[in-house]
Structures are given as C-alpha cells and as structure tokens.
A = this chain, B = another copy of it.
Amino acid sequence: MDLRTLNTPAALIDVGRMQRNIDRMQTHLDVLGVRFRPHVKTTKCRHVVDAQIAAGAQGITVSTLKEAERFFADGIRDIVYAVGMVPAKLGQALALRRQGCDLKIVADSLEAAHAIAGFGRAHGERFDVWIEVDVDGHRSGIPPEAGLLIDVGRALVDGGMALGGVLAHAGSSYDHDTQDALAAVAEQERGGAVRAAARLRAAGLPCPVVSIGSTPTALSAQRLDGVTEVRAGVYVMFDLVMRNIGVCELSDIALSVLTTVIGHQEGKGWAIVDAGWMAMSRDRGTQRQAHDFGYGQVCTEDGAVLGDYVMSAANQEHGIVSRAGSPDTGIAQRFPIGTRLRILPNHACATGAQHPDYQAVGEDGVVQTWPRFHGW
C-alpha cells in the first residue's frame, strides 16, 4: 500500500515526524532527570505507544479504564488512570489489579477516598491511590495548601490503602503563547505539586511519586526539582493548537487527514473535499487563538504547507477549502476534482478519535495500517 492508493478520508501519521517528537520529549526529560509517562489518550494505538516505550517512557497514563484494559492486555503493567475514581468503577479497577496490572487510581475528595478504602478493605485489595492536586484552578484537584489534602491522604492511609503520590495537570498552559508565560506555568505546576507532596510528608504520610504534566509545560519546564515523573500526550503528534501556543512548528505536526477534492463553487473560491467534521472532528481549538486555522491547514498530498488555504467550514462528510482573505476564483484550476490534499488538524486527540485506524507513512513511503480503538 502507498499514499497514492489510500482511500480518502484517511488519518495519516508521518512516522519520521512522530519519532522526532518522541525523541525530543524523551531527551528533554532525560536531561531534566525525571521519568516520562506518556498519556495514551491521544492515539489509543499500540504502535505509537510501543515507539514511546522503546524511546524510554516508563509506564503510561490513561483517561479511561478501557485504555487500561487494552494496554494491559498488550503487556503494559504500570498504568495511571488519571480521572477521578467513582465507586461504580472500582470493580473494574479491582479486576485489572487481580490480573496483575499495577494500576494507580486518583482521588480528590474525602467521599472518593472513603469509597476506595471501603471497597478495597471489603475485597482485600490495597489500592495504590494518587491525590489530584489543583495547581491552576483549571479543573479538578485539591489546592496544595488546603487542609483537605492531608485529610484525604490520612483517610486513604488509615483506610489501609497505599498513598502513592500526587498528580497535577496545568491545563491552563493552553491559554498562553509565549515562552516566558509557559515557563511560568510550568514552574507553577511543579511548585504546586512539590508543595503538596512536602505537606503530606510533613504530616507523616508517604508521597513517593510527584507526577505533573501537560505538553506545553513539559516542553517549557526549565527545572523539575522534586518531580519524579512527567505526563504528556499530544506532543507525540502535535497540532495547530500546539503550534499557536508556540511549542512546535507546522513542520512538526505528524497527524494529518488525507482528502480528495470532489467539487467547486468557483465564484466563492471554494473547493469541496470529502473530509468534513466527521474526519477532522468538530474541534475548533484555534478559534480563540492568535491564528484561526478554521478546521485545519491545507497541504499538498505530500505534506507541503499551502500558504493561506484552510478548511474554512465543514459538514459531516464535506469540507470547504478556501483561501483566507480574498477568495481564489481560480481554485478549480488550482485544485481540480480528484486532487488529493492533506489537512493538518487543530487537535490531534480529537481528530484521531474520529478514525478506526491510522495510516502510518514511513520515511520510505511505505504505508502501514495502525489500528486504534474507541469507546469506554
């Protein structure tokens, strides 16, 4: 199989770019002296995760228990489920641990801590629980200075569970686009997690792991004293949101959607393509950033960026490609019916999820199908 014979739309991975992205993150964290635990929610693809582990990653992060089950079945034992545990899912977590999976779960409330400890004791299982720390008001977690932090740690330990560490994610890093601001958020993420760990230890509680991370902070951190591991997901593909944040160039983006021109509206300067939001996802993550790429940046079939051409609108299986600014009324000659284009996506996690498979294009031009899974 090669690029010219693929059906469209298709999700392409440029394997050379992917490998360079993996090596860049791993080398950066090796230099800073911390372990790296990639977040596999971005690709849910064994081939990609194998490459991350081959480069030096230690363990994985998952966003669903289905990811944990699939990757454990593929031989990965060291897994953090980084979404707050609820009582109804403890049976599923228990089953994984009973099969030998070193699954870590997360709590950020007394209710969750008590539920985990109660269930664990009832089933003779000492769950390994990490406390989620809120370092930027972005979403979940307990502020490092809150009394609740110690209460939750004590509830877990007194309840017979293993308090494995703290976990933080500076999701607000996505709101910045200068190196100084990103370095500051990275330091805020590091400082918050390290302070939380210190408070737990000062209270006589264990806290072996200090886990932090997001792609922008991981790549912008200048020191990681006190941190034991970093998590990041989208860095493996990168996307237009990350390009606008400033942590990659367009030429680093490893994921694209291959599409075919199916028609035109010449007077409007539109080429209609067979990739719509079903293939791109509805993610409009660059809408509020400095450069709005619509539904994606248009490139040639071989991946050369085509200046001002973007996918400006999308229906389910139709995309509209047009030139930003003035309409290109010669677009039917520029991109005749049958022309194949690549579209760089706003958000690699969302675009990947629309596809049952990736088509991985090697540097030798050979294309391999890499399955991914979806659902819960």
Contact = CB atoms under 8 A, between A and B. Distances in A.
B272 A63 contact: no
Contact of A338 (B8, B83, B86): B86
Given A108-B263, A112-B263, A317-B83, A374 B374 contact: yes
Copies in the complex: 2
A111 B336 contact: yes
Interface residues of A, number: 60
Contacts of A317: 41, 63-64, 83
Q: Which of A64, A281, A316 has the most chain B CB within a 10 Å cutoff?
A: A316
Secondary structure call for the A interface:
loop
A84 B263 contact: yes
Contact of A337 (B112, B262, B264, B282): B112
A64 B284 CA distance: 23
- In this complex, the member of A92, A265, A375 whose beta carbon has the largest number of chain B beta carbons within 10 angstroms is A375
Contact of A282 (B8, B261, B282): B282
Interface in A64-92: 64, 83-89, 92
Nearest to A374: B356
Nearest to A108: B263
Nearest to A82: B317
B315 A88 contact: no
A338 to B, nearest CB: 5
Contacts of A108: 263
Interface string A129-140: 000001001011
Interface stretch (A220-228, A238-246, A346-354): A346-354
B375 A356 contact: yes
A236 B217 CA distance: 44
A96 to B, nearest CB: 14
Nearest to A337: B111
A320 interface: yes
A9 interface: yes
A23 interface: no
Contacts of A268: 137
Nearest to A132: B263
A337 B83 contact: no
A283 B276 CA distance: 13
Contacts of A265: 134, 137, 139-140
Contacts of A87: 337-338
A10 B261 CA distance: 36
Given A316-B349, A356-B375, 10 more contacts: A83-B262, A86-B260, A86-B262, A109-B263, A109-B337, A112-B337, A139-B320, A140-B263, A140-B318, A282-B347
9 contacts: A8-B88, A10-B376, A41-B316, A83-B262, A86-B274, A139-B315, A139-B318, A282-B283, A353-B354
